[in-house]
Structure formats: structure tokens, C-alpha cells
A and B are shown apart, each in its own frame.
Chain A
Amino acid sequence: MILFDRVVKQYGKNGNLVLDRVTLHVEPKEFVVVVGQSGVGKTTLLRLITREEKPTSGKIVVGGIDYDKLKDKNIPMLRRKIGVVFQDFKLLPNKNVFENVAFALEIVGISSKEIKHTVPKVLDIVNLSGKEKRMPIELSGGERQRVAIARAIVRQPRILIADEPTGNLDPKHAWDVIRVLEKINKYGTTVLLTTHNQEIVNKLKRRVVTISNGRITSDKNVLVGVNNRKKEE
């Protein structure tokens, strides 16, 4: 579902090496947790998937799309296939809960009738029924993040990436969000979650990929990180 093959990301010719020959393979319906300290390259990894950035070298294939062959004009189409949850929620402040979720469907031209049918169902999954008319400013951090998750899953993407979705939340709300992500994964969506919360990593009991200084330093799956391990040896 997601393939990184010796991906390097460096800013400028002699600049900071953020990702160093990262090789990663995520299978369909997998739930992968990417861990590491701040600034080790977790977010860059996700930004490469959403094509906010291009790799300096290496190959990326997501959902069958080879990024080497992806034209800039087709980037919106790619992003419509990937659900994204951000640490800072990124809700549209002028739209209420319903409209924020509906926006993801509107941009792909789904009919209003279908939107009215689908959005309440998704809001129910994230336990936000009855709060459709609330504006983002009227919601707690956890509620905002659940709106962001609802928006990310409403198009039923095959891949959901969540960049530190619990980073701004207290433990109770953080677990609410993680449970929702597990529920979505159960329905068949591949989830890639980044976090530096060790408690979440320990309790989740999922595949854990550790990044340190731009390299994958540990992975339960033998398929990945071979090159890095050789270097470490």
C-alpha cells in the first residue's frame, strides 16, 4: 500500500539530511506507528506521502501510484485518495462541524443528498452526533481532532495518515482519538500514525517503526530497514 525505497530527503545541496535512505513497506489494512523524537523526520515522511514535498532521491509508491510519474496537476486527485489528520487539526474556521466534514465530499462533486446521508453517519463514528452546527472555536481539542478524523475518513480512503494527532490533547482525549483510529483500521483502512507518546505506543501493540536522525533504526517487520541495520553493524 505504501512503499518507500531508499528515500533521501535533503534540504539544499549541502543542507540538513532529514531522511537517509529510508525503506519502508506498509501492507494494506496495516496499522503502523512511526515513533521518534521531534525533528527526526517523522513529519517529513508523511509530507512526502501527501506530496507536499518531493524526495531528493529514491522511489515512493502509494496506493499503486508511482510518484516519479505523478504530474503536479494530478496532486489534488492523489490527495483525495489519502485521508490526513494533522496535529493542529487544520479545521476550516468559517465552517461548522458538518460543513468541515462535508467539504471533503463537496470537492469531489458528491451530491448534496449523499452528503446529508453520509456526514451524520461519520460524525456518529467519531462520537460527535448532535454537534453538527458547532463552529470549531466552540469545540474542545479532542472534539476538534475527531472532526478532523471524520473529515479524513468520510471519503472512505484506503490510507489514513495521522501526524501526531494526540500531540495537543490531554490523555483522555488522546485515547478517544486513538480508539477512533483503531475502529477505522478495523473497517479496512491502512493507518500510518506518528507519535512520540510512549504510552500510546506501548498500549497499542501494533507494528512500530522507529526513526532516529532520519533513519529507520528499528522495525518489527524484517522487510524494512535492512540497509540501515547493516550500517549500524
Chain B
Amino acid sequence: MGRRIITGFRIVHAGIINFVRSISIATAAIAVMVITLTIILFSILTNISFSNTISQITAQIDVSVYLKDSVTQSQTNLLVNNLKHLSDVKSVTYLDKNQVLAQYEAQNSNNTQLLSAISQTANPLPATIIIKPYDLNRISDIKNFLTRPTIASLQSDPPSYSGDRELAINRITHATNILREVGVIAIIVFLVVSALIIFNTIQMTIFNRRDEIQTMRLLGASKSYIRGPFIVESMIYGIVAAGISILLINELFVAASSAFQANSLGILNIGYANTYFDNHFFMFLGLQLVIGIIIGSVSSFIATRRYLKMKIK
């Protein structure tokens, strides 16, 4: 046990020393890692920003169900409960006639003629149930439920799907869904490409030091003792690259917010992405560290493998 601890300590120590002493080679590997990690993080933030924009659009969509005055409170409660149990329904809000009137008056507070006309009659507005769906693409399920004869008989008018905007909203949703999928694919592609680039860079670094590996083998060092310092060294590349990358993204946000006076560029909301980044700084730092360390260690593990094969001619 004691010997293992000593060996582990020596491997880590040798890795750190190698990193410091071969800093010029390390710089190239770290530079590649910084670029790729930055692109990955940028892709993730862009995707989060897109998702947020989509969520905001989704939040504005609702289905309004107008109830007949004859509908009793118990029928209303039953309907609200049934709606709440639909899997596609995010929230259900019931507004009675008075609340609907108050809302209408608030919306038309500048139109005194309309307000006085309303006040002179009995409240003509129906009690309303407002349904917010989870997913815009599955709004038809709610529609089917509401058009059942037993449910339709309770309604004074057909349901309103956010007025006439439904078609336009569907188109936007469709476009943003494609963007979101493209974003996820882009992240995966960047991850794979960056892993390959980093792997090649580390492989070149180890290729330059294959004679060292050969010498260590001839001196009787075990495979793990030879490989260990290389893995530690590559892990340090990952740690340093993750640190630089996260600082770089931070600076990019500072530069972007001063360069673009607007807070968002079309669907890409810089302000939101920046806030999200600030709020989740340590999560992203951890993510970068994990990606950097995993790519670094796996690459060096594979790269050293070919020089450690004990095949004797």
C-alpha cells in the first residue's frame, strides 16, 4: 500500500515536472484545447439561448376556453381538474366572470366610451379557463379534448388559440426547433472533432518523446509507471485549457455587450446567455474541466499504448 502511494505520488510529480519542462510543446497542445473547448462552450451557450427564446414564445401561447353562464361551479372544477391531468398541459388558470371583466377593463383603460358602455350592461364576458401547453407541437391533443361533445356543450364559444397568431407561431416554433436540433448536432460534431484534434496533438507530443518511452521500458519501468506521467501531463493541459477557455468566454461576453448595443441579435439573446453563463459559472468551469481532463487523459492513454506494446520480435 505504502509503495503504491509513493508510486502514485511520483507519477503525479513527474507529470507536473514534465509539463513545466516541456512548456513549448505543451503550449501548442493547450492552444488547440482552448480553441476547441471555447467552441464547445460557445455552442452550448448558443443552444441555451435558442432554447430560452423558444420557451419565451411558448409561454405566450395559450388556449382560452369560454364557459357558458349556466355552467355550475362543480362542473367548472371538474373541467379544470380534468384539464390539469392532461399530460400536455403545463398550467390551467380559471378566471370567473368578474375577473375577466376586471382584466378587460384594465386592458381597455384608455377607452372610456367602451368602459362606460360595459358598465351600463350586465357583465357580458364569459368565465374563462386559460390553458398553457408544454409543447406547441402537441397543442392538437388539447384541441381534441376540448372538442369532445360533453366538453364542447359547456362552452359559449369555440376555444381561442391565441387569436390568429397560431399559424405564425407554429412556423417560428418549427424554425427554432430545427435551430435547436442543429445546435445539439453542432455540439456533438465539435466535441468529436475537437477530441480528434486534441488526440492528434497529444499523439504528436508523445511521438516526439517515443525514445523516452523506449528508454524507460529498457530500464524496466512498468507500463503504468511510464504512461502515468504522460496522462497527468495531458490532464494538466486540459485543466489549463479549461481555465483559459472560461476566461476567454467571459471576456467575449464583455466585448460583445459593449460592441452590440442591442441585447440580442435576432433569436440569439446575448444578454440571456451572459446572465446564464454568470449564474452557472462554476458549472461551466466544471464541465470544461471534465471535458478537458477526459479528452486529455484518454488521448494520452491511447497515444502511449502503441509505444508500450511488449511485442518482441
| Interface status of B21 (Cβ within 8 A of chain A) | yes
A146-173: CB near B (< 8 Å → 1, else 0) gives 0000010000000000000000000000
| Contact in complex: B220, A79 (CB < 8 Å) | yes
| Contact in complex: B219, A103 (CB < 8 Å) | yes
A76-B222 contact, Cβ under 8 Å, with A92-B216, A94-B22: yes
Minimum CB–CB distance from B207 to chain A (whole Å) comes to 15
Prevailing SS type, chain A contact patch: loop
**Inter-chain contacts of A95 with B (CB < 8 A):** 17
| Interface status of B6 (Cβ within 8 A of chain A) | yes
- Other-chain residue from B216, B222, B312 in contact with A51 (beta carbon distance below 8 A): B312
B182-218: CB near A (< 8 Å → 1, else 0) gives 0000000000000000000000000000011011111
Closest to B219 in A: A104
Prevailing SS type, chain B contact patch: helix
| Contact in complex: A109, B310 (CB < 8 Å) | no
| Contact in complex: A80, B21 (CB < 8 Å) | no
The complex places the Cα of A114 from the Cα of B6 at a distance, in Å, of: 13
A53-76: CB near B (< 8 Å → 1, else 0) gives 110000000000000000011011
- Other-chain residue from A73, A81, A104, A109 in contact with B7 (beta carbon distance below 8 A): A109
| Interface status of A111 (Cβ within 8 A of chain B) | yes
B251-283: CB near A (< 8 Å → 1, else 0) gives 000000000000000000000000000000000
| Interface status of A93 (Cβ within 8 A of chain B) | yes
| Contact in complex: B219, A93 (CB < 8 Å) | no
The complex places the Cα of A92 from the Cα of B214 at a distance, in Å, of: 10
| Interface status of A125 (Cβ within 8 A of chain B) | no
Tell me which of B18, B220, B310 has the highest count of chain A C-beta atoms within 10 A of its own C-beta: B220
| Interface status of A112 (Cβ within 8 A of chain B) | yes
A78-B312 contact, Cβ under 8 Å, with A90-B215, A94-B17, A94-B22: no
| Contact in complex: A53, B313 (CB < 8 Å) | yes
**Inter-chain contacts of B219 with A (CB < 8 A):** 79-80, 84, 103-104, 107, 151
**Inter-chain contacts of A81 with B (CB < 8 A):** 220
| Contact in complex: A78, B220 (CB < 8 Å) | yes
- Other-chain residue from B211, B221, B310, B312 in contact with A107 (beta carbon distance below 8 A): B221
Closest to A71 in B: B310
A94-B222 contact, Cβ under 8 Å, with A54-B312, A112-B6: no
Closest to A53 in B: B313
Minimum CB–CB distance from A50 to chain B (whole Å) comes to 6
B221-262 with Cβ < 8 A to chain A = 221-222, 225
Closest to A109 in B: B3
| Contact in complex: A111, B6 (CB < 8 Å) | yes
| Interface status of A77 (Cβ within 8 A of chain B) | yes
**Inter-chain contacts of A93 with B (CB < 8 A):** 212
Closest to A99 in B: B17
| Contact in complex: B312, A53 (CB < 8 Å) | yes
| Interface status of B85 (Cβ within 8 A of chain A) | no
A107-B215 contact, Cβ under 8 Å, with A52-B312, A112-B6: no
**Inter-chain contacts of A51 with B (CB < 8 A):** 312
| Interface status of B90 (Cβ within 8 A of chain A) | no
A107-B6 contact, Cβ under 8 Å, with A92-B215, A94-B21: no
| Interface status of A106 (Cβ within 8 A of chain B) | yes
Q: Give 14 A-B contacts (CB < 8 Å), ordered by A residue.
A: A51-B312, A52-B218, A75-B310, A75-B312, A76-B217, A76-B222, A78-B220, A79-B217, A79-B218, A81-B220, A90-B211, A92-B215, A95-B17, A104-B219
The 8 A-B residue pairs with the shortest CB-CB distance, nearest first, are: A79-B220, A80-B220, A107-B221, A90-B215, A109-B3, A76-B220, A94-B21, A72-B310
Q: CB within 8 Å of B: which residues of A?
A: 11, 50-54, 72-73, 75-81, 84, 86, 90-95, 99, 103-104, 106-109, 111-112, 151
